[in-house]
Amino acid sequence: MDGTSSSNLTDDLTGLDFAAVAPDEFARIVKGLSAKQLAEIMRGELRTRILGEVFGRMKQQFRPDAAAGLTALVRWRITGESDVVYETAIADGACEITPGRSDAEPRTTLVMTDAEFLKLVSGNGNPVTMFMTRKLKVAGDVGLASGLTRYFDIPKS
């Protein structure tokens, strides 16, 4: 740990306008925090704000050229103080993100903790290593899951 208490850290992040934080800056913030610290900040309203911003940016970070010809529904289940579900629908070179679980059958479902999710989407976690160590669970099309990062511009910390 860097000596920052979790209450100070939570206070610092509560006041942060996540919409104004560039993806590479977000990646640096995540990289500087331990899994325990990430889990501690992912509570209540702050968790809702962070997840909303991350999923809100997916559409902007989508690479339609890389996803040409792909049609897939990806369900994300983020575990923590409660399960949160988002879905990413990719079709016709477009990407739509919706909160909640639809009745549609996903091609793949990804399940991970808050901390692992933040590491993955910030470029601080290797999806293959996460899968092999069971920090990322995949149901359905494992091939699609393993290649998801090529369809999005993932920040580098």
What's the pTM value of the predicted model, to 2 decimals? 0.86
CA distances from 146 to 50, 127, 132 (A): 24, 7, 11
- DSSP of 88-144, one letter per residue? EEEETTEEEEEES--SSPPSEEEEEEHHHHHHHHTT-S-HHHHHHTTSEEEEE-HHH
Residue pLDDT, tens place only, 70-119: 999 999 999 988 999 999 999 999 999 999 999 999 999 999 999 999 99
Residue pLDDT, tens place only, 42-84: 988 889 989 999 999 999 999 999 999 999 999 999 998 899 9
Structure-block tokens of residue 2: 């860097």
Q: Going by C-beta distance under 8 Å and a sequence separation of 6 or more, which residues neighbour residue 145? A: 74, 108, 110, 127, 131, 138
